Amino acid sequence: MVISAKQASVCVLGTGLIGGSLLRAAVTAGYVAWGYNRTPAGAHAARADGFDVTEDLPAALRRAEETDALIVIAVPMPAVDHMLSAIATFAPHCPLTDVVSVKAPVAAAMREHGLIDRYVGGHPMAGTSESGWTATDPGLFHDAVWAVGVDEEVRAELWTRVVRLALACGSVVVPVVAAEHDRAVARISHLPHVLAEALALAGAAGGDLALGLAAGSFRDGTRVAGTAPDLVRAICEPNSGALLEVLDETLRVLDAAREQLRTEHSLTDLAEAGHTARLRYASARRWEITGIRPGEHDWLERLRAAGARGGVLTRLD
């Protein structure tokens, strides 16, 4: 992908697993990219690998302001407010996106800071249970899905710029509004964390014997419980409302399964329905959204409808 000189700069705030991988992917794709990291150790590790990462937030932001860089907020939700204050002070005209795991709370913070007009939300659906610069990988987003906001206030030019960055990192783009995104990730990202933690607890309560007998199903089912607890909290807690909703739904499903197991010694209903659901997931195919030009009549509405039906953008004309 050819990037125009004017849109060639990216400033990444937070160079942990996601932000650091994004910095590496952007540089690989030909962007002029630099970053800020709160901890000197993280910034030093990035510099040692040849990347331009500073612990000086004002300096990173002033440079963004001077070059009209796209600022990517890549810190956990609890640190977003502090970033926005600094942006409002040191880079008041820069376009903004983010890679935070929830979208409505970030949009609300943008509104509070008077930055919503310059913001298009983003969320690459990629990660590992590792964290920090040492875990970064420029290929992390390759063939991943990257949610990009299509909320009412989104402006076509900025939206295009954010989508270009996502595509340049090797992802496909799902257009989605903040509230729908948050409800969806509660189901496919936050609930998996909750269930993985609960499964890990159930296994460990069986002692050395149970853990010694554990094989693939337990290993895979508990993998994301390996994520640092603070990070799990930073991911899940800002989405409490949507997570509670799907957790309640799941508790009802498990209660019903428990009753059938108790009264009939049978798991029929859960096993059949769960298998059908997994087949639906396994057989789902991405289809390409085409023919919608950013800024034209009804473009946001049409993108929303396409995203809801499983469509993705793989290029911009």
User: For residues 43 and 306, which CB has a smaller minimum distance to a copy of itself in the complex?
Assistant: 306
Q: Which of 2, 4, 93, 229 binds a copy of itself (CB under 8 A)?
A: 229
- 84-89 contacts at long range (C-beta below 8 A, 24 or more positions apart): 84/109, 84/110, 84/112, 84/113, 84/115, 85/113, 86/57, 86/58, 86/61, 87/61, 87/113, 87/115, 88/113, 88/114, 88/115, 89/58, 89/61
Hey, is 264 helix, strand or coil?
helix
Q: Does 240 bind a copy of itself (CB under 8 A)?
A: yes
On the CB side of 33, how many CA atoms lie within 13 Å of its CA?
28
**What is the DSSP code (8-state) at residue 224?**
G
Q: Which of 15, 37, 101, 189 binds a copy of itself (CB under 8 A)?
A: 189
- Could you give the CA distance from residue 101 to residue 235 in angstroms, rounded to a whole number? 6
Q: Does 16 bind a copy of itself (CB under 8 A)?
A: no
To a copy of itself, the closest distance from the beta carbon of 169 in angstroms equals 15
User: For residues 97 and 227, which CB has a smaller minimum distance to a copy of itself in the complex?
Assistant: 227
Q: Does 288 bind a copy of itself (CB under 8 A)?
A: no
Q: Does 281 bind a copy of itself (CB under 8 A)?
A: yes
Burial of 199 (0-12, 13-18, 19+ CB in 10 A): middle
User: For residues 18 and 91, which CB has a smaller minimum distance to a copy of itself in the complex?
Assistant: 18
Site for a copy of itself in 161-180 (CB under 8 A): 174, 176, 180
Pattern 241-280, a copy of itself, x by CB under 8 A: --xx-xxxxxx-xxx-xx--xx--xxxx-xxxxxxxxxxx
- Could you give the CA distance from residue 123 to residue 104 in angstroms, rounded to a whole number? 12
To a copy of itself, the closest distance from the beta carbon of 290 in angstroms equals 17
Burial of 130 (0-12, 13-18, 19+ CB in 10 A): middle
Q: Does 100 bind a copy of itself (CB under 8 A)?
A: no
Rg (CA), the chain: 21
To a copy of itself, the closest distance from the beta carbon of 224 in angstroms equals 5
- Could you give the CA distance from residue 11 to residue 32 in angstroms, rounded to a whole number? 9
Number of residues that bind a copy of itself (CB under 8 A): 100
Pattern 192-221, a copy of itself, x by CB under 8 A: xxxxxxxxxxxxxxxxxxxxxxxxxxx-xx
Site for a copy of itself in 125-144 (CB under 8 A): 125-128, 144
